[in-house]
A and B are shown apart, each in its own frame.
Chain A
Amino acid sequence: MSRYIARRLLQAIPVILGVTLIIFLLMFILPGDPARMLVQKGASPEVLESIREAHGLDKPWYVQYGKYMWNLLQGDFGTSIRYRRPVLDIMKDHYPNSIRLAAVALAIEAVIGIIAGVISAVKRRSFLDILVTLSTTILVAMPIFWFAMLLQVVFGLKWGILPISGMGDGSWRYYVLPAIALASVHTAYTARITRSSMLEVINQDYIRTARAKGLSEKKVILKHALRNALIPVITIIGLDLGGLIGSAILTETVFSWPGVGRVIYLAILQRDPPVVMGGTLILVFIFILLNLLVDISYAYLDPRIKFEGRKVD
Chain B
Amino acid sequence: MAKLPEEFNLEEIDQEPRGTTLKREILVTLRKNKMASFGLIVIAILVLVAIFAPVIAPYKNAVGFYPEEILKPPSVEHMMGTDDLGRDIFARIVWGSRVSVEVGILAVAFGLIIGLFMGALAGYKGGMADTLIMRTADVFFAFPYILGAIAVMTILGPGLENVIIAIGVLEWAYIARLFRGSVLATKVNDYVEAARAIGADDKRIIMKHILPNAITPVIVYSAMSVGTAIITEAALSFLGVGVQPPRPSWGWMLSDSRAFMSRAPWMMYFPGLAILVTVLGFVLVADGLRDMLDPRLKGMSEHVTRG
A and B are interacting partners = yes
Are the CB atoms of A205 and B136 closer together than 8 Å?
A: no
CB-defined contacts of A244 to chain B, threshold 8 Å: 144
A141-B276, A207-B3 known; A268+B146 contact, CB < 8 A: no
Say yes or no: is A253 at the interface (Cβ < 8 Å to chain B): yes
Q: Are A246's CB and B147's CB within 8 A?
A: yes
In the complex, the chain B residue whose C-beta lies closest to that of A22 is: B139
Least Cβ distance of A132 to chain B in Å? 10
8 Å CB contacts to A: which residues of B229-260?
231, 234-235, 238-241, 254, 257-258
Which residues from chain A contact B257 at a C-beta distance below 8 Å? 149
Partner among B1, B235, B304 whose Cβ is within 8 Å of the Cβ of A193: B304
From DSSP, what is the main secondary structure of chain A's interface residues?
helix
How many A-B contacts at CB < 8 Å in the complex? Answer: 167
Q: Does A105 contact B (CB under 8 A)?
A: no
Please indicate the chain B residues that have their CB under 8 angstroms from the CB of A144 in the complex.
235
Contact A145 B142 (CB under 8 A): no
Residues of A in contact with B (beta carbons under 8 Å apart): 14-16, 18-19, 22-23, 26-27, 30-31, 133, 137-138, 140-146, 149-150, 152-153, 157, 189, 192-193, 195-196, 199-200, 202-205, 207-208, 211-212, 236, 239, 241-247, 249-250, 253-254, 264-265, 268-269, 273, 276-277, 280, 283-284, 287-288
Is there contact, CB below 8 Å, between B239 and A268? yes
Contact A141 B261 (CB under 8 A): no
Q: Does any Cβ of A come within 8 Å of B151's Cβ? A: yes
Contact indicator per residue, chain B 198-235, by CB within 8 Å of chain A (1) or not (0): 00000000000000000000000000000100010011
| Complex: A202 Cα to B258 Cα, angstroms | 46
Query: Given the complex of chains A and B, what is the CA–CA distance between A296 and B303 in angstroms?
Result: 24
Contact partner of A280 (CB less than 8 A), chosen from B3, B135, B136, B150, is: B150
Main secondary structure of the interface of B (DSSP, over half): helix
Report A176 CB to chain B, min CB distance, Å. 18
In the bound complex, do residue B2 and residue A208 qualify as a contact, i.e. CB atoms below 8 Å apart? yes
Known: A142-B276, A246-B146, A269-B240. A18 touches B283 (CB 8 A): no
A27→B155 contact, CB < 8 A: yes
Interface contact B258-A249, CB-CB below 8 Å: no
Closest Cβ neighbor of A254 among chain B residues: B258
Asked whether, in the complex, the Cβ of B144 is within 8 Å of the Cβ of A287, the reply is: yes
Expressed in whole angstroms, the Cα–Cα distance for A249 and B235 within the complex equals: 10
- Taking the closest CB of chain B, its distance from the CB of A281, in whole angstroms, is 9
Indicate with 1 or 0, residue by residue over B98-113, a CB within 8 angstroms of chain A CB atoms.
0000000000000000
CB distance from B26 to the nearest CB of A (A): 23
Interface pair B280/A137, CB less than 8 Å apart: yes
Chain B, Cβ-Cβ closest to A143:
B275
- Counting chain A CB atoms within 10 Å of each CB, which of B2, B234, B272, B302 scores highest? B302
Q: Given A149-B272, A199-B302, is A18 in contact with B135 using a C-beta cutoff of 8 Å?
A: yes
Residues of B within 8 A of A264 (CB): 147, 150
Whether A211 contacts B2 by the Cβ 8 Å rule is yes
* Whole-angstrom CA separation of A195 from B300 in the bound complex: 10
A/B interface sample: 28 pairs, CB < 8 A:
A15-B142, A18-B136, A19-B142, A22-B139, A23-B151, A137-B283, A137-B284, A140-B283, A143-B235, A143-B254, A149-B272, A153-B262, A192-B303, A195-B302, A203-B3, A207-B3, A208-B2, A212-B2, A242-B141, A244-B144, A246-B145, A247-B146, A254-B258, A265-B239, A268-B241, A273-B155, A277-B154, A287-B143
